[in-house]
Chain A
Amino acid sequence: MKMKPIFYSLLVSAAGWLAACQSNNSVSPALNAVTFANLPADPPSAGYNPTNGAPIGVTNKFTFFSFSTGAIVANTDSATNKWDLGFRGTTIIVNGGTSGSGSTTAQVITGTFESYNTAPATGYSPDNLASASAPYAIPTGSGRGWYNYDYTTNLITPIAGKIILVKTTAGKYAKMEIISYYKNQTMPTTPTLTPNDRYYTFRYIYQPDGSTNLK
């Protein structure tokens, strides 16, 4: 199961290479879809309080991620433009608007990862906590953004067909799909107080050349 995404990205890149050769005027090199596994988004160190459901042992701090480096950015750099997205629980912030010093914008669109080979030119917005209806560029809440929350099992499932498109502070485009909210992509099958949640696994394609090509 873990081999598959790697195999798939090889396949995608091979296909892209083939296409590039055939057209013989490679606009840009084929991009690889990268899977980032187990980004900790402030996971509770001791699970959840059984009486009130509150997470135990959380820092309330965001984990920052940069597409250009493909790595986590230290929390001490929160006031810089080094990061693009921040993750804490089910909330994802962008480094723009009310959330950060940068000018990152994002949008959630419906489709498959493969169907967005070109980033749309419009539709992006920064975070705006002053807005009651849309405080985040990537909306929070069950069924409103990227996930569904089942209040009978307390489980979070990423909605199929929700792709997040990001325009970074540097004006570069990226697309990402959240694959799992649970550590090692293992969602519990029964409700548990230690679900190992708040670990994002997502795949993305980042276009460093500034074009809208995301293939």
Chain B
Amino acid sequence: MSNRSIILFILTGGTWFAVPAQDSLSTQKLNEIVVTATRNEKALGALPMPVTLIGKNQLRTMGSLRLNNVLTEQTGLVMVPQVNGLGNGLQLQGFDPDYTLILIDGEPLIGRYTGSLDLSRLAVGNIKQIEIVKGPSSSLYGSEALAGVVNIITERPAFTRGTLSARYGTFNTTDFTGDLSTTAHKLGVYAFANRYSTDGYSLGTNTNKTVSPFINTTLQGKINYKITPQTDLSFSARSFQENQAQSFVVNSNSVEIQTIGTGTIHDSNIFGSVEHHFSKRLKALAKIYTTHYETATNLKVKPVDTLYYHDDFSQSYTRPEINTEYFITPRHIVMAGTGTILETVQTSRYGDENKRLQQTQYGFFQYEWLPSDQFQVIGGGRYDHNSIYGAQFSPKLSMLWNPNNRFTLKASYGLGFKSPDFRQLYLNFNNTAAGGYSVLGTEIVVERINQLKAQGQLGALFYDLSQIGKLQAEQSRALNVGGRYTPSPGFFFDVNIFRNDIDNLIETQVVARTTANQNIYSYKNLHRVYTDGLELNVSYPLFKNISASLGYQLLYAKDKDVIANIRSGGVYSYYRDPATLETKRLSVSEYFGLANRSRHTGNFKIFYNNKERGLDASLRLIYRGRYGAGSLQGNVQGLTIPPSDRNNNGILDVYDNFVSGYFLCNVSAAKTFRQKLRVQAGVDNLFDYKDALYIPNLPGRQIYFSMSYSFSKK
């Protein structure tokens, strides 16, 4: 077996106490084990694709409570709001949040009712580590793993230990977290509970809150049982419940209406697995996962008590899977798996409360070959067959070359895809006001057009009927090339150059018009875009207990059709002079790219960790460069967001208005007494940066204090 041995059993618990000072940025430890990139445990340094690891140690020093706060500080990750300007979705390598798969312990998180997942749903207290794989991973995970995968690995049953913590901060935010782990003979148990509440915040000038007050609770339990030395049983369950108290003044007919109501989110998942080692070389895992997500909003007019607004959405996802891994020799490892996904959605947004179903069968394989200690190749692929959009094959090939202990070179090429979501298939939205228009999912649009035709109301049809109502998966081809240079221990440069070519991007498009001139929009595979750029991470041990790191991402994200259009003098090759309102010619270099993407993002962090004195502290600067606002207007404050495109050409060019770039500064400091009692204080957004109009998901300065008590019988 090679010196970078393959570790089959996770080493867990309490390791952070033993972390050497210069490694306090635990993202950087090459011998730490990650599972997401290859679906088996591998040392971080031995992975042939770009992977970021955020460990418990770093999470504790940062003092973050919710997942979005953690991810927003990582190089190349940007938290972007949803359509309504709120929420926190993850943008990765320039992809929208819809294109990154979010997993908890390897199982997908659902509830993308506007496309992105709100990552503030996830508490940080039970997270052992976060693994971020960049580049498509559809070869292992199927749909949605187009930009990459974020896998949240939660704590597992280990030796007897527990933690209780409480925190209080700005906006009357409270957080109580407790967890407990114990083992007895063959049994291991882990339990976690979290309660988080906040008064929310207001960025605007009127009485409406930008974020209304809410309370949420997260409960999680895990049980492991070793039936025989070769057979492990696992069971886990998680539940999340959030209640938000909403109170809005809505301006209707120039009359102010006071509405009050509730917003609820409930999300639960259950997981069970059996793992059996048939021999030292063959193991198999059978597992079943089921999850349910539902959200509802009910607003009533006060004091009349009539319903003002109702919205509900519920989604279920069930997946049994079998997965085997076989070590032909230590230099040849194969893995194969197969499974079925059953998904349903039921929502008021699709015009009825019918349950919509889709089913996917899939199989995947992966082959690892290590011709020498310096070289390894991983190849694999996955075949998905979906009841609606058909078949999809996603291969991936990765290579790593490690000529000496200073250099590592990596390259990977893969295909990713994202299946059309339920909204694109079944949305049935009819706006009777403002001229009237409909947005119809592809599974219902043809029927509606035929109805209109029969009623003599079809004015115009802009596509042949055979071209409407057929939606294919969105696909990407991606290349990641990079490596690491380590001049001395703890001091290194990580570089990754990426290129993603995305085809078949789904957009709304006018497909028909009624005789009353009302447009009928549906979804079509239209756009071809690319994102490319470079990611750089440098880490340097400044002093014995202090390490500094610098992260930077350069990003270009552009629409290929727009570029071709500008070249050929098409409709996008003009802009209106803001002063004279007259048309001028635009050049390709003046086209900035897709909205909501910053060309430059970066971070600078200093972490201090003095184990002897029980002190740790951090200073983190996060930069997001200027970007264009898309055509997403309006927020709960009633503010309208003017789109960046103010020169009437429908694209973002250098003459448009940009959202200004900004720095955020977060600091924290903690003292641990006798490895038991820990006191922490910190400030997020120290300089109180706010942009009520464009960045409603960024509250102002937040100060917090927390105390925690840990015990362990190790």
Q: Which residues of A contact B (CB under 8 A)?
A: 1, 4-5, 8, 50-53, 110-113, 115, 132-133, 140-143, 148-154, 157-163, 177, 179-180, 185, 189-191, 193, 201, 203
Contact = CB atoms under 8 A, between A and B. Distances in A.
Contacts of A5: 580, 582
A160 B253 contact: no
B575 interface: yes
Nearest to A7: B580
B642 interface: yes
Contact of B650 (A110, A115, A159, A189): A159
26 contacts: A1-B579, A4-B580, A5-B580, A5-B582, A50-B253, A51-B433, A53-B433, A110-B571, A110-B574, A112-B583, A112-B584, A115-B585, A132-B460, A133-B461, A141-B519, A143-B510, A150-B631, A150-B643, A152-B633, A157-B648, A160-B576, A163-B583, A177-B582, A179-B582, A190-B639, A191-B634
A160 B632 CA distance: 21
A150 B631 CA distance: 8
Tell me if A's interface is mostly helix, strand, loop or mixed.
loop
B513 interface: yes
Interface string B615-654: 0000000000000000111100001101100011110000
A144 to B, nearest CB: 8
A191 B640 CA distance: 7
B647 A110 contact: no
Given A148-B650, A203-B582, A161 B640 contact: no
A53 B434 CA distance: 4
A151 B460 CA distance: 19
B517 interface: yes
Contacts of A110: 569-571, 573-574
A205 B242 CA distance: 63
A143 B574 CA distance: 14
A6 to B, nearest CB: 10
Contacts of B571: 110, 159, 161-162
Contacts of A161: 571, 573-575, 583, 649
A111 B584 CA distance: 9
Nearest to A50: B253
Contacts, number: 106
B570 A179 contact: no
B571 to A, nearest CB: 6
A133 B517 CA distance: 12
B69 to A, nearest CB: 30
B581 interface: yes
Nearest to A163: B583
- Name the residue in B519, B570, B573, B574 with the highest tally of chain A Cβ atoms < 10 Å from its Cβ: B574
- Name the residue in B460, B571, B580, B581 with the highest tally of chain A Cβ atoms < 10 Å from its Cβ: B581
A163 B571 CA distance: 11
A71 to B, nearest CB: 22
A105 B488 CA distance: 76
A112 B571 CA distance: 11
A201 B580 CA distance: 12
B527 to A, nearest CB: 15
Given A5-B582, A53-B434, A160 B633 contact: no
A51 B255 CA distance: 12
B581 to A, nearest CB: 5
A148 B570 CA distance: 15
Nearest to A194: B254
B641 to A, nearest CB: 9
Nearest to A153: B633
B510 A112 contact: no
